[in-house]
Amino acid sequence: MNLYLIQVLNGLGIGMIYFLIAVGLSVIFGIMNFVNFAHGAFYLLGAYLCYAIAAATDSFWLALAVGPLAIGALAWAAETRFLCRLYRVEHMYQILVTLGLALVIQELVVLIWGPIGTHVSAPALFRGVLSYGDFAYPKYRLFVIGFSAVLALTLWLLLERTRYGAILRAGTESTEMVSLLGIDIFRLFSLTFALGAYLAGLAGVLAAPIRGAEPFMGPEALTIAFVVVVIGGMGSFAGALAGGLLVGVVQSVMSSLWSEGANVMIYVAMALVILLRPRGLFGRT
């Protein structure tokens, strides 16, 4: 039983990171109908900014605070400068542009930091394991679970209790209505895109001490994000959370049961969800 408990904990930890990556993509697609293939690149940048800031200032907390903000700002700039022109075009051009952007970011990372991955230490406060008899679990992973839970709660409050949140939720139902109500839809889009990028960058910062930072980690985050968004439901916050945790826990438990298949299971699940219940767990039809 101990084994499965730890597997579930593992799954929650990864699942929370999946949630952070996916929720941005989900909201971006839900509101803006924009397929963002550069989402993984924001995650990548998050991990590298964590490395760079932590190396320069010896403070993980500073990296956590500043890194994602920088990425959010970068995303805001990209969106207002040229991505906004692509909202009305077909998905294939959106995919092409964001794929191109992802490639550019990836190669810039290699140019600046080299092609070999780097190692990021967990913050001193959370190094080591929490022991309880036979049970030992890394403190940092527990921190990730706790911190992400708090973050999820904050996001939920943002969505449910603030004006911006209300506009955002309305926007996932109909952007036309929102703009007819006199709200600047373009500001909304920019903010949303920046928020999505911020969260993906945050996921990268949190993931860096667990799996290091290496230049080709973008595509894996993107793939997971799509799977979680599909399973959870596009445009849904609860969906991203439930989907992320579900995928994380299933992957973890599978590694005890059928380890080689853990990866393909999520794609089978993704296909089944699309075929049988396209709106996912919590999405709207």
Partner 1 sequence: MKLSRRKFVKDAAAGAMLVGGAPAMLGRALAAEKVKLCSLYPLSGAFAGVGKPGDVGAHLAMQALAKDYGLDIDYVSIDSEGNPGRGVAKVLAEIQQSGTKFFAGAILSSVALAVGAEVHKSGGVFFTAVGADEVTGANCNRSMFRWSVPTYGAIQETVVPLIAMFPDAKRWYTITPKYVFGDSLLRNAVDVFKEKGIEHVGNSYHSLSETEFSGYLTNAAAAKPDVLLLLNFGSQSTNTLRQAADFGMKNKIKIVMVWAAGLEQYQEIGTDVLDGVYVGCQYDVTIDSPGNKKIVELFKRDANRIPSYASVGGYICADLIMRGMKAAGSAEPAAVIKALEGMKYEGPTGNEEIQAFDHQCVKNYYLLKGKPAAQKKSSDDYVEIVSFGKSFLTQAQSLCKMA
Partner 2 sequence: MLRRLLPAPAMLASIAAVVVLPLILPSVAMATEVVVFIIATLGCNLLLGYVGLLSFGQAISFGVGAYACGLALIHLHIGVWGGLFAALICSIIAGLVVGALSIQKRGIYFVMLTFAFSQMFYFIAYAMAEVTGGDNGLLNVPRPPLTVFGVTLLSLGTPLSMYCLAAIVFLVLFVFLHRLVASPFGSTLIAIRENEERAIAVGYNTRIFKIIAFVISSWVTGMAGALYALFLNFAPLSNIDVSMSERIIIMTIVGGTNSLFGSVLGATFYVVVGNLLASVWPRWLLVLGIILIVVAGYLRGGLWSGVEWTWQRLRARWPVAGAVEQREDRGGA
Residues in contact with partner 1 by the rule CB under 8 A? 2-3, 6-7, 10-11, 13-14, 110, 114-119, 121-122, 128-129, 131, 136-138, 140-141, 210-212, 214, 216-217, 220, 251-256, 259-260, 262-264
Instruction: Round to whole Å and give the CA distance between 266 and 275.
Output: 14
Task: Answer yes or no whether residue 274 interacts with partner 2 by CB under 8 A.
Answer: yes
Q: How far is it, in rounded angstroms, from Cα 250 to Cα 110?
A: 33
Residues 238, 234: Cα–Cα separation, whole Å: 10
Cβ–Cβ < 8 Å for 116, 48: no
Quote the CA–CA distance of 173 and 235 in Å, as a whole number: 9
Cβ proximity of 48 and 67 under 8 Å: no
Per rule CB under 8 A, is residue 246 in the interface with partner 2?
A: no
Token pair for 257: 């049961």
CA 12, 260, 26, 70 dihedral sign is positive
Partner in contact with 214, chosen from partner 2, partner 1, none, beta carbon below 5 to 8 Å by kind: partner 1
Our finding on whether 116 is near partner 2 (CB under 8 A) is no
Q: Does 277 bind partner 2 (CB under 8 A)?
A: no
How would you write 170-205 as a 3-class SS string?
Answer: HHHHCHHHHHHCCCCHHHHHHHHHHHHHHHHHHHHH
> What's the min distance (Å) between Cβ of 63 and partner 1?
17
Q: Taking contact as CB under 8 A, which single stretch among the options 42-50, 101-109, 124-132, 238-246 is the one that binds partner 2?
A: 101-109
Which among partner 1, partner 2, none contacts residue 228 (Cβ within 5 to 8 A by kind)? none
Residue 95 is a binding residue for partner 2 (CB under 8 A): yes
93 binds partner 2 per the rule CB under 8 A: yes
CA 123 to chain centre: 21
Site for partner 2 contains 140 (CB under 8 A): no
Q: Which is nearer to partner 1, 137 or 147 (CB)?
A: 137
Binding residue (CB under 8 A) for partner 2 from 23, 35, 203, 205? 35
For tokens 């509101």, name the residue: 31
Binding mask 12-31 for partner 2 (x = CB under 8 A): -----------------x--
Element (H, E) at 135: strand 135-138
Q: CB 111 → partner 1: shortest distance, Å?
A: 11
Give residue 133's region: left, alpha or beta (phi > 0; psi -120 to 50): left
User: Which pair of structure tokens corresponds to residue 145?
Assistant: 């679970």
One-character DSSP codes across 230-269: HHH-TT-HHHHHHHHHHHHHHHHHHHHH-GGGHHHHHHHH
Partner whose footprint covers residue 91, from partner 1, partner 2, none (CB < 5 to 8 Å by kind)? partner 2
Q: Which of residues 199-228 bind partner 2 (CB under 8 A)?
A: 223, 226-227
Using CB distances below 5 to 8 A depending on partner kind, what does residue 121 bind out of partner 2, partner 1, none?
Answer: partner 1
Say if residues 46 and 71 touch (Cβ distance below 8 Å). Answer: yes
Residue 251's binding partner out of partner 2, partner 1, none, with CB under 5 to 8 Å set by partner kind? partner 1
Of 68-76, 95-103, 199-207, 242-250, the window that binds partner 2 (rule: CB under 8 A) is 95-103
The nearest distance, CB 96 to partner 2, in angstroms, is: 4
Q: Which tokens belong to 196? A: 């999505």
